[in-house]
A and B are shown apart, each in its own frame.
Chain A
Amino acid sequence: MKRIWSVVKKTWEFIVLFHHGTFVDKRMAVVRKEAFDINDNLMLLLFGDFLGIPNPMSYYMLELLPYVADDLESWERRIQNRKFIIAEKAAQYDFD
């Protein structure tokens, strides 16, 4: 009885993990990517002047600097290294 119970438990755990790995994680990864992409774009609107894009209120955007300071350098690198927009876009869809 105990053996059977542990097998059932193991199987259930396996099912949960399988489901998570196959469906949830992948979906969440897409959502997560989308969220970070939107945030990167927002950063571009906020601090575009650091990259040479004029911003009508760069002066006011400075007060956001303390909160994004940690991420600023990596964002600049990310945004400057965007080479293949199409590939980037394609990666969002589940081709594999």
Chain B
Amino acid sequence: MKRFSFFGGKGGTGKTSCAAAYALSLSRRGVRTLVVSTDPAHSLSDAFDIPIGYEAVQLRENLHGLEIDAAVEAKKYMELIQQKTLDLVSAVIVDEIKRQIEIAYMSPGAEEAAIFDKFVELMESAGDVYDAIVFDTAPTGHTLRLLTLPEILGVWIEQLIEKRQKAMHLMKMAARYDSYLADRIKEDPILGTLTARKEKFALARDLLTDASLTGFFFVLNAEKLSILETARAVGLLVKHGISIGGIVINKVIPPEAGTFFEKRRTAQEEYLAEIDGLFPSYSRVRLPLLDSDIRGVEQLESMAVELEALEVESPLAGTVKSGSGEGP
């Protein structure tokens, strides 16, 4: 069992159901589990058929749920900044600052950053309350960006720190004969804040790239587009050092589906073989296409039992050749 499991994949492949079922399977074994949705369009509460909000809600024994609300998190952050500004400068300037804060609130990266902050906060503080956290992520593109954020921003912030240090160095030289300036630069909150932020990114990166803590599970269907996207995403994650926990092949048409599906099933066999060929070293689980939607804990439970196979080194023994190990 990984401490942090991410479930991702193309839209509509059944990420949320798989994440919910996996969390359920963990909780049934007595693991204190939190299932978190990072998708801005939440559907976790629909999967469990229980209303879930931006604060953790108990779903059943050993299982809590949470849907990250970017707007709420961003607002909390903004209010904190406004409060800090009020402590430091006059109210007139705070009014001026408010405009800037609002601009930033509307800026394209804000929602993403707010979600990222919250999930890093959850990962950091998880230890005492939960043994495992299962993340139900947004469709691939959004999630990949989210997970690679710390690496990109880490480089950027390092340069800012460098620049500030250079300025401070010159400032100190200039302040040798200027006691007023020397007083002003005695301590540098800007450098302190930037460094703290950098450390936070580094920590997030350490957690995400630690193969013993974090695993990313891909949910895909036996369809061309789904396979292509997953292959690309797997490559990208491996490049960024995030380990792949396993592959869930969802909505596999069972043999008893009847003649209507016969043709699709033949095509599917090809795709299943392709998946096995593409990801031989990851544990793979096949889930059948069901005759009804999955909603509520009872229906998730049968899925949960099947997902337990994800933690076995080589699943589907006998049906396919499967290697072991961390990946290519």
Q: Does B114 contact A (CB under 8 A)?
A: yes
Contact B178 A35 (CB under 8 A): no
Determine how close the nearest CB of chain B comes to the CB of A3; give it in whole angstroms.
Answer: 32
Given contacts A59-B114, A64-B194, A66-B81, contact A38 B166 (CB under 8 A): yes
Determine how close the nearest CB of chain B comes to the CB of A49; give it in whole angstroms.
Answer: 6
Contact B104 A62 (CB under 8 A): yes
Q: Does A57 contact B (CB under 8 A)?
A: yes
Contact A31 B173 (CB under 8 A): yes
Q: Please classify how large the interface on chain A is, using the bins under 10, 10 to 19, 20 to 34, 35 or more.
A: 35 or more
Q: Does B317 contact A (CB under 8 A)?
A: no
Given contacts A49-B107, A67-B190, contact A35 B170 (CB under 8 A): yes
Determine how close the nearest CB of chain B comes to the CB of A96; give it in whole angstroms.
Answer: 20
Residue of B nearest to A28 (CB): B174
Q: Does A10 contact B (CB under 8 A)?
A: no
Residue of B nearest to A33 (CB): B174
Per the bound structure, the CA–CA distance linking A38 and B100 in Å amounts to 22
Contact B152 A68 (CB under 8 A): no
Chain B residues positioned under 8 Å from A46 (CB to CB)? 160
Per the bound structure, the CA–CA distance linking A60 and B77 in Å amounts to 10
Residues of A within 8 A of B (CB): 20, 24-25, 28, 31-32, 34-35, 38-39, 41-42, 45-47, 49-50, 54-70, 72-73
Q: A28-B176, A49-B103, A59-B113 are in contact. List 7 more A-B contacts (CB 8 A).
A: A28-B177, A38-B170, A55-B107, A57-B113, A59-B107, A60-B157, A67-B189
Closest 6 CB pairs of A and B: A35-B170, A32-B174, A59-B113, A38-B167, A66-B85, A35-B171
Residues of B within 8 A of A (CB): 74, 77-78, 81, 84-85, 87-89, 93-94, 96-97, 100-101, 103-104, 107-110, 113-114, 152-153, 156-157, 159-160, 163-164, 166-168, 170-171, 173-174, 176-178, 181, 189-190, 193-194, 197
